[in-house]
Structure 1
Amino acid sequence: MKRIQLKVAPDITGRKRLDIFVVESGVGLSRSQVRKLIGEKRIYVEGKGTKPGFILHGGETVIVELPDEVKQFYKPENIPIDIVYEDNYIVVVNKPAGMVVHPAPGNLTGTLVNAMLYHTRLSDEKISGRPGVLHRLDKETTGLLIMAKDTKAHLILAEAIRRREVKREYIAIIWGGVPDKGEIFAPIGRDPHNRLKMAVVPDGRVSKTEYTLVARFSFLSLLRVKLKTGRTHQIRVHFSHIGHPLFGDPVYGGRETHLAGIIPEVRAKAKMLLSLIERQALHAHKLSFSHPITKERLEFQAPLPEDIKSVIDKLIEEEGGGQIEHSLIC
């Protein structure tokens, strides 16, 4: 680990946030990297604050502890990947279940980044800390992702995501019934009881999810879901919070935990449906954005993966559901 001391000028002008100061200091970190290191307490003001918004007044010492380089993790690997669209600047991929987006401790190989580096070039990792990565999907969530191939495209798309100009729509199956339309507005942060999970917490980050009912079954609902913010595990956390966890989700109460609590009359059927899917029933179905260079508006759609489709097919077979749009089940 490399430890850097940054001295804040005693005559600093204006209100300077800690994260902005470090980005502008020349240590070579992006703002997202800085915020991550602050969260890990690797960047802090000596004797004072450790929050990104900490205001510097002049004369402070800022400590930056840089973790060891992880470039060796970015090894190109010949892994098949479903490329939906590609040009000289961007790639849109349809990520399968079971694939992590980028290398990290515990998943150093076999990731989407490893696969894409074998296929093509990606934007420099110094921009976001991970080559080409603009946004992520959970390991067991399937569907569409944009990746950048050069610095200019990366910076433009990252800003578009920050401004919420990149539109993402998911298909989800949840336990229970909900109104035809609704929104969930609840702050998300680390679960204070389990740091590996996220939760709705009072001091969490503002988070908003909108949904529209596609079909209602006896004890499950099929939804279209739109993210208005992009927090880690947002859809899974929000629906678990309102008592309707994603079907099959082992982490947020959508599998054995929920199965044990339902009435015996439907438990056997629910268990049969759970046998068809080993993960949360969540798929990034649609993605639309303006091309970073040509400005053309692009829209992509990924068909449902076989496991989610098999659950829906079985529900339709047993309960009907002719009103479900063909585009969802093809």
Structure 2
Amino acid sequence: MKDLIIYEDNHLLVVEKPGGLLVQGDRTGDVTLLSMAKSYLKERYDKPGNVYLGLVHRLDRVTSGVVIFARTTKAAQRLASFFREKLIKKHYLAVVHGSPPPKGILEDKIAWDENKRKAYISSKGKEASLVYLKLRTKGKKSLLLVQPITGRKHQIRVQLARRKHPIVGDIKYGSKERIYFGRAILLHAWRVVLPHPVKDEILRFEAPLPFYWPKEFYPPAKIPWLKVERKL
């Protein structure tokens, strides 16, 4: 677990989630990032009893990248409010099938099918918006920089698949190619910018790309933040 720590202080624990690892428990009973992080803190600080660690956001099992935990209830409450107020900015990298337009804003309504554990586009769903920038195309695949504006479950995956550009490895949403034994896809929560929940400072974090990410789709050295030119 120690190798996955990106940042740590008295209020926050920021970690790199590998693709294929659950953030929190589900019906499989598999090991989770949350339980690993709690065990790390318990051992590192020799804490008796249960260790508090607030889960303020999630990544899908198949997605890799930055995950932020709150180490106090005060930090958890403030981070939750930051997410609601859209004060936390996240950039994802995604390798998709095909070649989308150079940039775009995707807006849909998304609903969730609990039985199939899958999102779908529906007029009765909730508003979902994202912006993206195509960084490069090679062969029949493209690298995108994606900034979600809303935080719907499986949002990036279903919105890109809807345009016939499913994420590579995402069998659930139309990809025909498996990545890392089917436990991961080429979607990576790459960098996050957020206000510190207690201190007067802005924090910036990046998670390195996972080992199975194809070298030809590494991002350029410098990438600007996407600008949302209108309210979504």
Distance 1:276 1:310 in 2: 15
Structure 1 residue 327 displacement after superposition: 6.2
Q: 1:276 to 1:137 in 2, by over 3 A?
A: closer
Which of 64, 87, 91 is equivalent to 2:13? 91
Distance 2:25 2:171 in 1: 23
Structure 1 residue 296 displacement after superposition: 0.5
Q: Which has the higher contact order (CA 8 A, sep 6+)?
A: 2
Superposed CA deviations along residues 71-93 of structure 1, whole A, max 9, x for unmatched, are: xxxxxxxx555000000001111
Q: Aligned residue pairs: how many?
A: 213
Larger % of helix: which? 1
For 1:190, the equivalent position in structure 2 comes to 112
For 1:221, the equivalent position in structure 2 comes to 142
Q: What's the secondary structure of 1:165's corresponding residue?
A: coil
Structure 1 residue 277 displacement after superposition: 7.2
Correspondence 1:21-170 to 2 at 5 A = 82-107=4-29, 109-120=30-41, 131-170=53-92
Distance 2:222 2:125 in 1: 36
Larger radius of gyration: 1
Distance 1:300 1:293 in 2: 17
Residue pair 2:179, 2:185 contacting (<8 A) in 1 also: no
In the alignment, structure 1 segments of 5+ residues that lack a partner are 1-78, 122-129, 257-273, 314-323
For 1:285, the equivalent position in structure 2 comes to 190
Residue pair 1:170, 1:283 contacting (<8 A) in 2 also: yes
Report the TM-score, using the length of structure 2 for normalisation: 0.85
Distance 2:16 2:125 in 1: 30
Structure 1 residue 311 displacement after superposition: 5.7
2:221 corresponds to 1:326: yes
Q: 1:213 to 1:93 in 2, by over 3 A?
A: same
Distance 1:277 1:217 in 2: 23
Residue pair 1:209, 1:226 contacting (<8 A) in 2 also: yes
Q: 1:221 to 1:287 in 2, by over 3 A?
A: same
Q: 1:236 to 1:212 in 2, by over 3 A?
A: same
Report the TM-score, using the length of structure 1 for normalisation: 0.60
Superposed CA deviations along residues 130-159 of structure 1, whole A, max 9, x for unmatched, are: 941010001111000110000100000000
Q: What's the secondary structure of 1:105's corresponding residue?
A: coil
Q: What's the secondary structure of 1:152's corresponding residue?
A: helix
Superposed CA deviations along residues 18-40 of structure 1, whole A, max 9, x for unmatched, are: xxxxxxxxxxxxxxxxxxxxxxx
For 1:176, the equivalent position in structure 2 comes to 98
Correspondence 1:225-264 to 2 at 5 A = 225-255=146-176
Residue pair 1:80, 1:115 contacting (<8 A) in 2 also: no
Superposed CA deviations along residues 85-118 of structure 1, whole A, max 9, x for unmatched, are: 00000111110111100112223x4101110111
Distance 1:102 1:113 in 2: 6
For 1:308, the equivalent position in structure 2 comes to 213
Which residue identity lines up with residue 202 of structure 1 in the other structure? Answer: S
Distance 2:113 2:60 in 1: 17
In the alignment, structure 2 segments of 5+ residues that lack a partner are 43-51, 224-232
Distance 1:153 1:275 in 2: 36
Larger % of strand: which? 2
* C-alpha RMSD of matched pairs (Å): 2.2
Residue pair 2:109, 2:125 contacting (<8 A) in 1 also: yes
Residue pair 2:2, 2:40 contacting (<8 A) in 1 also: no
Structure 1 residue 195 displacement after superposition: 3.1
Distance 1:309 1:298 in 2: 28
Superposed CA deviations along residues 37-57 of structure 1, whole A, max 9, x for unmatched, are: xxxxxxxxxxxxxxxxxxxxx
Distance 2:214 2:70 in 1: 30
Percentage of matched positions with identical amino acids: 34
Distance 2:3 2:138 in 1: 34
Residue pair 1:211, 1:224 contacting (<8 A) in 2 also: yes
Structure 1 residue 312 displacement after superposition: 2.8
